[in-house]
Amino acid sequence: MPLPEIIMNFIKYLSLEKHYSEHTVRGYQADLDSFCRFLVKGKGQHNTQDQQDFTLEDAKQISSKITSIEIAQLRSYLASLSMGSYSKRSISRKVASIRSFYKYLFKRGLIDKNPAALLKSPKGGKKLPKFMEYDEIEKLLLAPPQDNWRGLRDRAILETIYSCGLRISELVGIDISDIDFDNQVIMVTGKGKKQRLCPLGSHAIYAIESYIHARNRDADFKHSPDPKALFLNKHGKRLSDRSIRRNLDGYLQQSGLDSSISPHTLRHSFATHILNNGADLRSVQELLGHKSLSTTQIYTHLTTSRLREIYNKAHPRSR
């Protein structure tokens, strides 16, 4: 059987009420699956090949332990992860999932006190975001073929992510009506269904217009295509984030670029490049759709490192 009902209700809450992306919801579910296996077996596990479904007896045991657990047991769970192969970043993410889960239970009146309120993440869990140099960006943008509508689509996707610093979940949700071609802006729906206006660069506008024109002229869908969605697959349906990641992997290999680059790396590159070129932090926060300025501040570590490098090379008394 799947996870206990008390957890599945939380997962539904994240999806239906908080409007988290499918990718984010899967992450929460995996983290809480690991937590449940600790409650049953006394050690943290995560997505191993030989994991079995929970039995009905397991589910009852887990539900009982969830509502009666103390902070000491939660710390024991983190200790079991620390002794395993988990990085500090992975443990920090699991802590965040558990905190959110118990905050939900407390607010819904399912527990009398929140045992996770004092649970702390391990220090040093944050990792500087990876970004691409501009010449690497250019090489990637030139990778999709420009002689068919799907190649033009992929070029438009890459240009749009880099032009606006979009999350992939935001990108796949774009409708044609969200774009104001005259004013070169796009209405983006981010986390929690919050909307923001993002400027679109001229290269992105041109790529999108070229793709739409080619799609309308050349695409031969078996069924009526989605009339709203901007980016469609070969069946005329809204393109999925998995398809975009898969296509990106192919272009990375074709271009000889680092295979670990992801769509989110383009978002990191967007933030790093505009900060390096003089944008202020609060403007970048607004463009990225970050709720807190502290989330955006991680990029200042990258730009400060770059400034130090330039200073060391240029200043005659830097050393």
Catalytically annotated residues? 167, 191, 264, 267, 290, 299
Q: What residues have CB less than 8 Å from 194, skipping those under 6 apart?
A: 289
Q: What residues have CB less than 8 Å from 55, skipping those under 6 apart?
A: 1
Phi, psi dihedrals of residue 168, rounded to the nearest 5°: -65, -35
81: which 2 tokens? 């992860």
156: which 2 tokens? 């438009």
Q: Using only C-alpha atoms, what is the Rg of the chain?
A: 23
Q: What residues have CB less than 8 Å from 201, skipping those under 6 apart?
A: 159, 163, 184
From the list 166, 159, 157, the residue with the least C-alpha distance to 189 is: 166
Q: What type of residue is 295?
A: T
Q: Is the dihedral of CA 283, 288, 291, 297 positive or negative?
A: negative
Q: What residues have CB less than 8 Å from 218, skipping those under 6 apart?
A: 148, 149
223-258: b (≥16 Cβ within 10 Å) or e: eebbeebbbbbeebebbebebbeebbeebbeebebe
Phi, psi dihedrals of residue 32, rounded to the nearest 5°: -75, -25
Q: What residues have CB less than 8 Å from 131, skipping those under 6 apart?
A: 265, 268, 269, 271, 272, 273, 302
From the list 44, 22, 38, 30, the residue with the least C-alpha distance to 2 is: 30
